[in-house]
Each structure stands twice: as structure tokens, then as C-alpha cells.
Amino acid sequence: MGNTFGSKSVRAGHARKVWREVKDQFPAGGVVANLTDWVSNGVGKIPAGTFCKWEDAGNEGGKKVTCYTKAQILAAGSIATLGINGATLYDINIESGDTVGTATVIYAGEMYSYMVDAGVLAKVKDIAALSEIKFVS
């Protein structure tokens, strides 16, 4: 499960289900490395089902997660250069650029395709690293 550490309370409203089934995940708790990309677009959260790159830098920085915005994915000439290998399990609330967010990245399961932008879905469907994620209606 992911978490953020800040000083503001966040109220949760009605949830929309992103995952139909989660089969496997990378070790949880990877720190989101690019929160500033999300703060600058004013969303206030990284939504569940956001495509990302999970990596373990070991002693050089531990577990890191890079969550890609819709604009970053659509602008990528070759989607393989982003290194996407999963999608976030839960929303990650962002208070400010000083927020520290962690994420759980799913690499095997079933995601509802209507929760993903059609342009993004078209680009990520053929990524080999996502072959264990099935997109269902």
C-alpha cells in the first residue's frame, strides 16, 4: 500500500474501482521520485492505475517509483524509453512539492480499461513489461 506523509487531512469521497484483480506486485513502499511533475499540473493526487516505473537502486537510493503523467506518455516517441513496468494500486495524495509519497506498483492483474485514457491505453497495451496486466471492460 502506498502512503504520503504531510500535515494536511484529506477527505476521501466515493471511490471508483480501477483494479478487478491484483495478482502480483513489486515490494511496496517505493518512494515516488517525480512528485513535482504532478504538483505542477495541479491534480493534487496521482490516481490509482497510473503507469509507472518501479526500480530498486539498492544502496544508491533504495526503491524508487516514477509515475508518468498522461502528457509524458503521449509525448514519448518510443514508449519503451520510459521503462514502464507497472501501475499504481492506490491514489497517492499530494499536499505540496515537499510531500513524500510512496507507492505500491502492480505488474500482474486485471485493470478496468475504462479507467485509462484511450490514447494512453493504446500506447501502453503492447509494452512487454505489462504483459501480465490484462485490460478488461
pLDDT in tens, 36-93: 889 877 778 999 999 999 999 888 879 999 999 999 999 998 999 999 999 999 999 8
Would you state the cell numbers that stand for residue 14, as one nine-digit string?
Answer: 466515493
State yes or no: pLDDT of 16 exceeds 70.
yes
In this prediction, residues 5-14 reach a mean pLDDT of 62
| Residue 117: other Cβ atoms inside 10 A | 11
> What's the confidence (pLDDT) of residue 132?
97
* CATH code given to domain 20-136: 2.40.300.10
Question: Is residue 87 within 8 Å of residue 50, measured between CB atoms?
Answer: yes
> What's the confidence (pLDDT) of residue 7?
61
